[in-house]
Amino acid sequence: MKAIIKLKNKMKIYLASDHGGYYLKEEIKNHLKNQGHDVSDFGNTIFDPNDDYTSFVLPLAQKVAKDKRTLGVIFGRSGNGEVIAANKVKDIRAALCLSEKMARRAREHNNANILSLGAEYISPTSAKKIVTAFLKTSFSSAIRHKRRVKAISAYESSHS
């Protein structure tokens, strides 16, 4: 019997993937729903080997940017294109993570609001642990982290 780690606080979580991350997204979607989270799938909702991640990732990023109480998880073959696209949206700090430690640091140090996962590089078991670490971790109250995120936001606002 598999142990399911339950998070105390249920969250609103948005998911998106192209064909490269479709099956991992579906597994994580079920995992999060089993934990009681409110999950919205931005697509693709079917496996389509000709789809483009931008069709799903950019609307998700826009939604996360508007609603500061939400987080997003995006999936691709490597996760690189997805994270690049998401980071083009103002107020998004998307992080490609390959371990639980990277996910915790992305939240603690960078106040990341979108997690990107590469299905070709992590197993579904690892992905569940990475997502759980991302969701359970809060932004650090350390002044240096706040200062850095503020500097990124200021730069982004002045160059948009």
Cα–Cα distances (Å) from 66 to 29, 72, 137, in that order, read 22, 12, 21
Angle between helices 143-158 and 100-110 (to 10 degrees): 70
Q: Smallest Cα–Cα separation from 106: which of 92, 96, 120?
A: 96
d(CA 80, CA 58): 14
| 159: annotated active-site residue | no
| 109: annotated active-site residue | yes
Backbone φ, ψ for residue 15 (5° rounding): -125, 150
At which residue do the structure tokens 């569940």 appear?
A: 128
At which residue do the structure tokens 């579906």 appear?
A: 26
Structure token pair of residue 73: 């998880």
d(CA 66, CA 53): 20
Residue tagged active-site, from 26, 100, 108, 109: 109
User: Which active-site residues does the annotation give?
Assistant: 82, 109
